[in-house]
Structure 1
């Protein structure tokens, strides 16, 4: 009786194991021919031990299946990561660290940071990351393009393709003077259809009081008298958009040749005939993006870009409103690490001191 039970258990175990293999193989889209191709045929004179050969082959098959499952899971996890691009330099490295910390602190989703800095600053960044709580973040770091003007890290937007050729799919671009208070996944999920090249904050509909009064237009940001712009369809009174925080799809940018278009416009600018207009804060990088992406953008939710915190040293919003904002932007002259700025305590919440004490904010204002 015990012998019969033992045989029954062995049979049931074999059936369960076979079903498990079938399930795993089907999930990996395994084809029957794969196993036949891997079978070893004993050569003439070779002593064939069929049971041992089958056992060895089964172990190899199981190992290959488990390895394939691991690779598939790692690939799936990598593909689901949110790509966040940040550019900075020696003067803004404090801001870069605060941006990264704010993103990590407010999302549970996997994030992969694409950081570009001057080559001389990269070792400092690596040590800063390694010695702080940010040591577990996933990131790729590359030096600025040699063509970028010194002291203008925001020009990286024009050279993203050459700096990060492996970047594909959607990405979020953040300037170094922002703090993310919301879940970055929500920003990344802003829908983009086939007719749009990015999601930006439109200046004329911004919550900023300054922009609501100034009403920035293409006529002040773009030199519409430039030879290449003659006969264009850009409306002088069309509203501009902020190019310092946006969501785009790099795969589509490559397909539409956006990078080459941007570079072409930058190269078309000269001192005698600049492509930018009379607005003091506009330069070739912003002007090129305003031209190439004209009428090809969608609106970011207002709370995902509360800007102009650095235009004046005083507060222009209520503290309750700032607390509900999902992204704060200190664009303007007053940076929270460099001088007295509005709502500096919101930036300090995510500031991470440099372990080597090489980079320090101006403490007398903190």
Structure 2
């Protein structure tokens, strides 16, 4: 039976880590990373029964989680998956939808084998994303890592996933949950709202767009009648039915095409989401995206948590916890990520 950990504050968080009993697997990745096998997690007796369906993906009572997946960030993804399962009351009801770059079929094979070996009971599918086509729509940003075409896959999930998947939780790869994802997935979106996420209305929203954007009345008018607030696209609950009905992929893509003609923003895949959705989302409690733990986009300096409880820790920004831990220059909060790290080390016991 899986254990559920309630939302917690940083003061108590350091004292309740679970240890992960694991076994070494033998697959060798191109990056020479090897990962351990995670323990199996079981549903609690109160979990809803999964209804039978010829396509298991379409069975009712599933919690659908979408993530991108590539070799570069695989270590972070593996930790994120483990954290989701470990803190879920009904882990057997979760199905993961992973999106990988179609231009790297060999990497997709490695990713599939790695997931099977480390999470042999995991319910998941991998979808190839036409990253080559999207690459032509991307303009350079303030950090090269933000220009990876796979970062833009979140805009195309409605096209990639089966039509029977109507609601998903999208997660970045540089985060861990310390609460039950079913709570986040249950966020009510209403009949006409496409997206829910923690929003931050005190942030300097104008900084996400260039002076050329704000000085052009026809462009800046896009926010007329809206109270635009910043939200981080690394944690979102999305109604895919409404997304498809409103063709929101095309709406985002139109802004990306304009960006190629005249520079209206600087920061990767985030601004097009803000242009389409800011001021039009269901706000979620900030506990579900304690973001910015990776510092800024230039130096990745250490940062503290926002005030309040914690359900999800997110190392958005340049600094990633695994890189800082490997360099023996960790930030204090990187210790909260470390227990979910499945990377095999020379000191791990062989099965």
TM-score of the two chains, using structure 1 as the length reference: 0.66
Count of residues paired in the alignment: 269
User: In 2 relative to 1, CA 75–182 (structure 1 residues): closer, same or farther, beyond 3 Å?
Assistant: same
Separation of aligned partners in 2, 1:265 and 1:273: 10
**Which residues of 2 match residues 1-366 of structure 1 at below 5 A?**
71=52, 78-109=59-90, 110-118=93-101, 119=104, 120-132=106-118, 134-146=119-131, 147-149=133-135, 151-166=148-163, 168-204=165-201, 215-218=203-206, 220-221=208-209, 223-225=213-215, 229=219, 231-234=221-224, 238-270=228-260, 273-276=262-265, 282-283=267-268, 285-311=269-295, 312-317=300-305, 324-339=309-324, 340-342=329-331, 343-353=333-343
Tell me the secondary structure at the aligned position of residue 171 of structure 1: strand
Q: How far apart are residue 240 of structure 1 and its match?
A: 1.7
Q: Tell me what 2:6 maps to.
A: none
Q: How far apart are residue 236 of structure 1 and its match?
A: 9.9
- 1:154-174 per-residue CA deviation (whole Å, 9 max, x = no partner) reads 211122233324462111011
Aligned 8 A contact 1:310 1:330 in 2: yes
Tell me the secondary structure at the aligned position of residue 114 of structure 1: strand
Aligned 8 A contact 2:53 2:59 in 1: no
Alignment gaps of 5+ in structure 1: 1-68, 206-214, 358-366
Aligned 8 A contact 1:172 1:188 in 2: yes
Instruction: Between the two structures, name the one with larger relative contact order (CA 8 Å, sep ≥ 6).
Output: 2
Aligned 8 A contact 1:265 1:275 in 2: no
Aligned 8 A contact 2:169 2:185 in 1: yes
Aligned 8 A contact 1:89 1:151 in 2: no
Aligned 8 A contact 1:145 1:163 in 2: no
Aligned 8 A contact 1:309 1:341 in 2: no
- 1:297-325 per-residue CA deviation (whole Å, 9 max, x = no partner) reads 0111111111111104435249xx79x51
Aligned 8 A contact 1:197 1:297 in 2: yes
- 1:304-349 per-residue CA deviation (whole Å, 9 max, x = no partner) reads 111111104435249xx79x51100001111012224432222111
Tell me the secondary structure at the aligned position of residue 185 of structure 1: helix
Larger-Rg structure: 1
Separation of aligned partners in 2, 1:290 and 1:125: 31
Aligned 8 A contact 2:293 2:313 in 1: yes
Q: Which has the higher helix share?
A: 1
Separation of aligned partners in 2, 1:294 and 1:250: 18
User: In 2 relative to 1, CA 76–151 (structure 1 residues): closer, same or farther, beyond 3 Å?
Assistant: closer
User: In 2 relative to 1, CA 231–73 (structure 1 residues): closer, same or farther, beyond 3 Å?
Assistant: closer
User: In 2 relative to 1, CA 259–354 (structure 1 residues): closer, same or farther, beyond 3 Å?
Assistant: farther
User: In 2 relative to 1, CA 91–77 (structure 1 residues): closer, same or farther, beyond 3 Å?
Assistant: closer
Tell me the secondary structure at the aligned position of residue 343 of structure 2: coil
